[in-house]
């Protein structure tokens, strides 16, 4: 019995080191879904169609003595031509003139809405990542 508990404790101690690749995949899938949903929403408007293609995500991994972290950011890539318009689409602004017409720039919250729509799938992905890491350890 004591040997089984010692083995289980050792395996559980390895789980945090083992879960990283699974969490990375879960974050990539979730970010891809948020990106896709937000771009679809933005692309439904003729005025903003170009901005839809500038939505992407960055995934950053850092490791250190105190631990490691994964960070993902989904948003408008300001390096792309239409990406600079993303804040106007997402957060809105006072009226502007476009094609000789006054255009209200109400906030659309495409990114926030896409994130909310994918929250449950994201949580399930994290749960699956932890389960897969434990299964790989035979737990």
Domain ranges in the chain are 2-136
Q: Which residue has the tokens 């901005």?
A: 51
Is 71 exposed, middle or buried (CB count within 10 Å of its CB: 0-12, 13-18, 19+)? exposed
| Per-residue pLDDT reduced to its tens digit, 16-47 | 667 888 889 999 999 999 999 999 999 998 88
pLDDT at residue 2, as a whole number: 47
Cα angle 135, 18, 120; round to 5:
70
**Which tokens sit at 71?**
């960070």
- Predicted confidence (pLDDT) per residue in 78-115, tens digit: 999 888 889 989 998 887 777 788 777 889 999 999 99
Nearest-10 Cα torsion for 62, 63, 69, 70:
40
Count CA atoms within 13 Å of residue 120 on its CB side: 1
Q: Look up residue 49 and give its two tokens.
A: 């169609």
User: Closest Cα to residue 21, out of 61, 75, 77?
Assistant: 61
Q: What is the mean pLDDT of residues 9-22?
A: 65
């Amino acid at each position: 019995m004591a040997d089984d508990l010692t083995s289980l404790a050792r395996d559980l101690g390895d789980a945090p080191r083992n879960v990283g690749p699974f969490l990375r995949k879960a974050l990539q899938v979730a970010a891809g879904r948020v990106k896709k949903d937000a771009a679809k929403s933005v692309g439904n408007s003729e005025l903003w169609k170009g901005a839809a293609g500038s939505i992407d995500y960055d995934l950053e991994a850092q490791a250190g003595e105190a631990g490691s972290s994964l960070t993902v950011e989904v948003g408008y890539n300001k390096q792309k031509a239409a990406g600079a318009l993303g804040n106007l689409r997402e957060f809105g602004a006072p009226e502007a003139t476009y094609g000789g017409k006054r255009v209200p720039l109400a906030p659309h919250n495409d990114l926030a809405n896409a994130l909310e729509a994918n929250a449950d799938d994201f949580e399930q992905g994290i749960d699956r990542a932890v389960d897969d890491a434990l299964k790989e350890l035979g737990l």
